[in-house]
Amino acid sequence: MMVVTGAVGFIGSCMIKALNEAGFNNIIAVDDFSNEQKNKNLEHKTIQEKVDRAFFFEWLDKNFQHVEFIIHLGARTDTTEFNKAIFDELNVHYSKEIWKRCIAYQIPLIYASSAATYGKGEFGYNDDESLIPQLVPLNPYGDSKNEFDIWALGQKEKPFFWAGLKFFNIYGPNEYHKGRMASVVLHAFNQIKNTDKMKLFRSHNLNYKNGEQMRDFVYVKDLCDVILFLIDHRKNSGIYNLGSGKARTFLDLVKSTFKAMGKKEDIDFVDTPVDIRDKYQYFTEANMNKLKAIGYSKPFTSLEKGVEDYVTNYLIDNRYQ
């Protein structure tokens, strides 16, 4: 059995689809299943059992001998939430309990870290584990992810295989429920559909022109391919970047969205909200050499092709992956 936490979320549900396509059908889906909109993400997927996250450890203690792998994608991911206690409970303590059981029960583990750990990028975006304790995230979400990375690296006992993946800016199907935290592609699609225009955040940094803030955008299908590779690889444990390796501007992304929708470009700029302005990242780009060095060689989807696939095959008809 394969366990996927965060199963009804954006990335978790896409991961289950990828597992099904790779021949894995005995999947234990772990999450809070109270959100009916999110539950739509699991439709037309093959799973063996749903387990509420509150009862997962009790379930695992009884069924560990049947578990082949844990893919821990469940987390509180809201970068605008500033209640540290929420992140301590869901992102740090919960992850520690999974880690400890993976050691006790000899289960390999992949877990989601985040590029939010890099803060403003003072130390670059290199997944050198010796630099991790020096990183300065910009919000409690990033702090929680970095705190767990540091804790994991400091443990004398570790699962026989484990990998922490620093997700960069993931976009793709099954994020309809995410609201403000959805990718810019989904926001762009909705704005363009409703108004034939798109508003982007104005730059408040003299080093960047409006719309030329840069992110490492990575298609969720590429993320799933990396996890499938690591499930099979099961060596070279450690923390890895997971981005495309190529920073692109928000203007590039929005122009690709207009093109995929067959619409004429009409882009305007608005001030970045005050509550996130001083914590805004103007540039991220994953150094992907470490993952490539252990044998991952599949090319990442270009921004243009990823946006085209997402818009034409999912968003236009409100489809799920």
Catalytic pick among 40, 178, 263, 279: 178
Maximum CA pair distance of the chain?
57
Catalytic pick among 141, 176, 310, 314: 141
Identify the pLDDT of residue 86.
Answer: 80
Identify the pLDDT of residue 176.
Answer: 96
Decide if 243 contacts 291 (C-beta within 8 A). Answer: no
Burial class (CB in 10 A: 0-12, 13-18, 19+), 263: middle
Burial class (CB in 10 A: 0-12, 13-18, 19+), 274: exposed
pLDDT band at 77 (very low <50, low <70, confident <90, very high): low
Per-residue pLDDT reduced to its tens digit, 169-181: 999 999 999 998 8
pLDDT band at 89 (very low <50, low <70, confident <90, very high): confident
68 contacts: CB under 8 Å, gap ≥ 6: 1, 2, 107, 108
pLDDT band at 81 (very low <50, low <70, confident <90, very high): low
3-state helix, strand, coil in the chain (%, to 5): 45, 15, 40
Identify the pLDDT of residue 79.
Answer: 62
Q: Which amino acid is at 214?
A: M
Tokens 């890895």 label which residue? 240
Instruction: Tell me whether residue 141 is one of the annotated catalytic residues.
Output: yes
Domains of the chain: 2-171+216-247+285-300 (3.40.50.720)
Per-residue pLDDT reduced to its tens digit, 252-309: 999 999 999 999 999 999 999 888 888 788 999 999 999 999 999 999 999 999 999 9
Identify the pLDDT of residue 80.
Answer: 60
Q: Inform me whether the pLDDT recorded for 78 exceeds 70.
A: no
Instruction: Tell me whether residue 193 is one of the annotated catalytic residues.
Output: no
pLDDT band at 7 (very low <50, low <70, confident <90, very high): very high
pLDDT band at 233 (very low <50, low <70, confident <90, very high): very high
